[in-house]
A and B are shown apart, each in its own frame.
Chain A
Amino acid sequence: TQLLEQSPQFLSIQEGENLTVYCNSSSVFSSLQWYRQEPGEGPVLLVTVVTGGEVKKLKRLTFQFGDARKDSSLHITAAQPGDTGLYLCAGGIEAAGNKLTFGGGTRVLVKP
């Protein structure tokens, strides 16, 4: 069983502050994704990382995949209220088919 643990579970910050969310596992993943989910909606794909050590930037969001492909982080610079939501990481192992395992999620609240 591949488990993905996210930390922290909940984060409340003021607008303009930075934040980092972590996603860790003992398994090696072929692919790891980050999603954001808002209340009443389905998760929206933010990024996919597949190469160990890979860093991707999406405006104020920076995603990093660990060298060993077992962990990942999401860093938001100068957070805005629009960044509020549930952030989910999800990993897949090619040998296990296209079955994604999701982390428990990090609920982020950015206060104006």
Chain B
Amino acid sequence: KAGVTQTPRYLIKTRGQQVTLSCSPISGHRSVSWYQQTPGQGLQFLFEYFSETQRNKGNFPGRFSGRQFSNSRSEMNVSTLELGDSALYLCASSSTGWEQYFGPGTRLTVT
């Protein structure tokens, strides 16, 4: 099976802009989760989608949002970017909910 894919791999944006990241899960996986990874805070859970519905949410401001499509593909949006949003954004899919299969991530730099 093909693994989790994320696009784009690298992105540079300016403060105040918005960004949309895309994730294609492993075929058959209906759960897609998003994480933010930074050197200071480590890996933090953003949200999880299952069958197009947000099932869990982490402690991030409303500027961070996501959605899942009927084919399980997911997008994550960050509006009004701040310098502190610079991070590696990881998408993971799962069939069980616990075991996460991660994509390679999108490296976002906000200048």
Residues of A within 8 A of B (CB): 31, 33, 35, 40-45, 48, 88, 90, 92, 97-105
B34 CB to nearest A CB, Å: 12
- The one of B33, B43, B97, B99 in contact with A45, judged by C-beta atoms closer than 8 angstroms, is B99
Task: Say yes or no: B45 contacts A100, CB within 8 Å.
Answer: yes
Report the number of A-B residue pairs with Cβ-Cβ less than 8 Å: 60
A98 to B4, CA, bound (A): 19
Closest to A97 in B: B56
Closest to B58 in A: A99
A97 CB to nearest B CB, Å: 5
Residues of B within 8 A of A (CB): 4, 31, 33, 35, 42-45, 48, 55-56, 58, 90, 92, 94, 97-105
Would you call the interface of chain A mostly helix, strand, loop, or mixed? Answer: strand
- The one of A31, A42, A102, A103 in contact with B98, judged by C-beta atoms closer than 8 angstroms, is A31
Given A33-B99, A42-B4, A88-B43: A99 and B104 interface contact (C-beta under 8 Å): no
Task: Say yes or no: B104 contacts A42, CB within 8 Å.
Answer: yes
- The one of A42, A100, A103 in contact with B103, judged by C-beta atoms closer than 8 angstroms, is A42
Task: Say yes or no: A44 contacts B102, CB within 8 Å.
Answer: yes
A86 CB to nearest B CB, Å: 10
Given A42-B90, A99-B58: A105 and B102 interface contact (C-beta under 8 Å): no
Task: Say yes or no: A98 contacts B105, CB within 8 Å.
Answer: no
Chain B residues near A103 (CB-CB < 8 A): 42
